[in-house]
Chains A and B, each alone.
Chain A
Amino acid sequence: MKRAFPILAIATVIFLGYATYQALVVAPTERTMGDVQRIFYYHVSSAWTAGLLFFINFVASIVYLARRSQKVDALALASAEVGVVFCTIVLVTGPIWARPVWGIWWTWDMRLTLTLVLWLIYVSYLLLRRFSSSGQTPVMAAVLAIFGTLDMPLVYFSIWFFRTQHPQPVMGNGGSIDPRMLHAFFVNLIAFTCFGLLVCWARYRLEVLRQEVEEMQALESLLEVRSSR
């Protein structure tokens, strides 16, 4: 398992390089939007990666409540943190794309709005973990994650209906998509997913290490008084 990490890391970097080359050089410039459109490859890929990571967090939260395994909680924390980072990328690239193309900074576009709500929910999740003084923070956080995930279908339907009643601009490519663009898109999607999972794995390992250090310090303090008697 330990050897897999550097291998995956190198593979991801290479793949990311290839994906970047595809997105910035090979893919043709969009007719109406120009080069700004290339942000689409990062914007959408980040959104899917964030979604995947939050799904991992949801599953980890449920498993944690059932099994109470510390490592599972480490995974929940790691996936939440990295997921928030990718969400932030979506929320930043969105306006950067929207402003020159559609003339507006923000729109209640389905993807953008869902990402915003997810971002808010998971930032509150991270804040709960940071501010909790309970010995059972992982339990509370897991419960919050489940609440947040239960919320998502409701968020989706509320935005969907809102958009039918109040038509909003759609942030997308519009029109037919060149096969080279499609290729670049899928390459970037896979590259970003690998990258996201890699960073999540790194963060997970860090958290497990931190847990081990804490465990050892606790054991130390447990034994030190005993030996001094």
Chain B
Amino acid sequence: MLVQNAPSSIPPVVTVTNLVKQFGRFAALRGVTADFPPARLYAILGDNGAGKTTLLRSLAGLSAPTRGTISVLGATNPREVCAEIGYMAHPSLLYDEMSAMENLCYFARLYGIRDPERSRNLLCRAKLDPHLSRPVGQYSQGMRQRVSLARALLNDPKLLLLDEPFSNVDVGSAREMARFLGELRDQGRTIFVVTHQASFLEEAADEFVWMAEGQIVNRTPSLLTTEAR
């Protein structure tokens, strides 16, 4: 059931111990304990309300745990290592009124990157035209997702956290994105993808993490067609 192929000498990039997150009376995470070796692509799956997004946000440092501990890239508070983390959420995290290049150049400055070359390269890698002056709000959903992903990659992060990157994206673009994520993983990055469309990651993902009701219920190396819960 659980397969960990990484040698135990390499420290895990993310360790979660008894993580509990409560919003008032509602417990989104009910004591999650796991560790995740580096340089892998993890697909986090589960029903709505399973706690996938909450877990991702906790790893990003956006949601402080109610109880329990998180260790990300060696730090107990993800905010300490935020320069090494890339985060892509379900909303685009972009300014609708600016073009893709303007958005990326601006957000690059948040990471101390002033050279527009990086933004231009990322947009080209995402198969988008850097010279397009159309505001991002007028892009198709697929194009917007690609700009959003580019934004998450601006700081060349070691840890990439993506929430529903394939939603509302056409099949071709989604497959392309999944392939791209595999490439990023091959470069040594650790990637967590929360998704409802796990089929896109069938080939690229190293491990499928199944969540239900605020806990991890299973971790499988492949996407089994039968119910894995």
Given A222-B20, A225-B213, A225-B214; A217-B25 close (CB under 8 Å) = yes
Q: Can you list 15 pairs linking A and B with CB atoms under 8 Å apart?
A: A135-B23, A217-B25, A218-B24, A218-B25, A221-B25, A221-B27, A222-B20, A222-B22, A222-B27, A222-B31, A225-B30, A225-B213, A226-B30, A226-B31, A229-B213
Which residue of the partner chain A has the closest CB to B214?
A225
Contact A222 B30, beta carbon cutoff 8 Å: yes
**Interface check A212, CB cutoff 8 A:** no
Determine the distance from Cα of A222 to Cα of B22 in the docked complex, in whole angstroms.
9
Determine the distance from Cα of A229 to Cα of B217 in the docked complex, in whole angstroms.
11
Which A residues are CB-close (under 8 A) to B24? 135, 214, 218
**A175-229: which have CB < 8 Å to B?**
214, 217-218, 221-222, 225-226, 229
What is the CB-to-nearest-CB distance from B69 to chain A, in angstroms, rounded to a whole number? 16
Given A214, A225, A226, which contacts B25 in the complex, CB threshold below 8 Å? A214
| Number of cross-chain contacts by CB at 8 Å | 25
Which B residues are CB-close (under 8 A) to A222? 20, 22, 27, 30-31
Which A residues are CB-close (under 8 A) to B213? 225, 229
Which B residues are CB-close (under 8 A) to A218? 22, 24-25, 27
| B-side interface mostly | strand
Determine the distance from Cα of A181 to Cα of B40 in the docked complex, in whole angstroms.
82
What is the CB-to-nearest-CB distance from B214 to chain A, in angstroms, rounded to a whole number? 7
Determine the distance from Cα of A226 to Cα of B214 in the docked complex, in whole angstroms.
10
Which A residues are CB-close (under 8 A) to B26? 221
Which residue of the partner chain B has the closest CB to A135?
B23
Determine the distance from Cα of A27 to Cα of B23 in the docked complex, in whole angstroms.
56
Determine the distance from Cα of A222 to Cα of B214 in the docked complex, in whole angstroms.
9
What is the CB-to-nearest-CB distance from A179 to chain B, in angstroms, rounded to a whole number? 57
Determine the distance from Cα of A226 to Cα of B20 in the docked complex, in whole angstroms.
13
Determine the distance from Cα of A66 to Cα of B20 in the docked complex, in whole angstroms.
23
What is the CB-to-nearest-CB distance from A131 to chain B, in angstroms, rounded to a whole number? 15
Determine the distance from Cα of A218 to Cα of B30 in the docked complex, in whole angstroms.
11
Which A residues are CB-close (under 8 A) to B27? 218, 221-222, 225
Determine the distance from Cα of A178 to Cα of B25 in the docked complex, in whole angstroms.
59
Which B residues are CB-close (under 8 A) to A135? 23-24
Which A residues are CB-close (under 8 A) to B30? 222, 225-226
**B19-77: which have CB < 8 Å to A?**
20, 22-27, 30-31
What is the CB-to-nearest-CB distance from B127 to chain A, in angstroms, rounded to a whole number? 40
**B78-122: which have CB < 8 Å to A?**
none
Which A residues are CB-close (under 8 A) to B20? 222
Which residue of the partner chain B has the closest CB to A222?
B27
Which residue of the partner chain B has the closest CB to A217?
B25
**B181-216: which have CB < 8 Å to A?**
213-215
A11-32 to B contact mask, C-beta < 8 Å, 1/0: 0000000000000000000000
Which residue of the partner chain B has the closest CB to A225?
B213
User: Residue among A217, A222, A226 with the most chain B CB within 10 A?
Assistant: A222
Which B residues are CB-close (under 8 A) to A226? 30-31, 215
What is the CB-to-nearest-CB distance from A67 to chain B, in angstroms, rounded to a whole number? 16
Determine the distance from Cα of A92 to Cα of B20 in the docked complex, in whole angstroms.
48
**A108-126: which have CB < 8 Å to B?**
none
Which A residues are CB-close (under 8 A) to B31? 222, 226
Determine the distance from Cα of A24 to Cα of B22 in the docked complex, in whole angstroms.
54
Determine the distance from Cα of A33 to Cα of B169 in the docked complex, in whole angstroms.
81
Which residue of the partner chain B has the closest CB to A136?
B64
The 9 closest A-B pairs by CB, nearest first: A222-B27, A225-B213, A218-B22, A217-B25, A222-B30, A221-B25, A221-B27, A218-B25, A226-B30
Determine the distance from Cα of A225 to Cα of B49 in the docked complex, in whole angstroms.
13
Determine the distance from Cα of A218 to Cα of B214 in the docked complex, in whole angstroms.
14
Determine the distance from Cα of A142 to Cα of B22 in the docked complex, in whole angstroms.
22
What is the CB-to-nearest-CB distance from A96 to chain B, in angstroms, rounded to a whole number? 43
Which B residues are CB-close (under 8 A) to A221? 25-27
What is the CB-to-nearest-CB distance from A215 to chain B, in angstroms, rounded to a whole number? 10
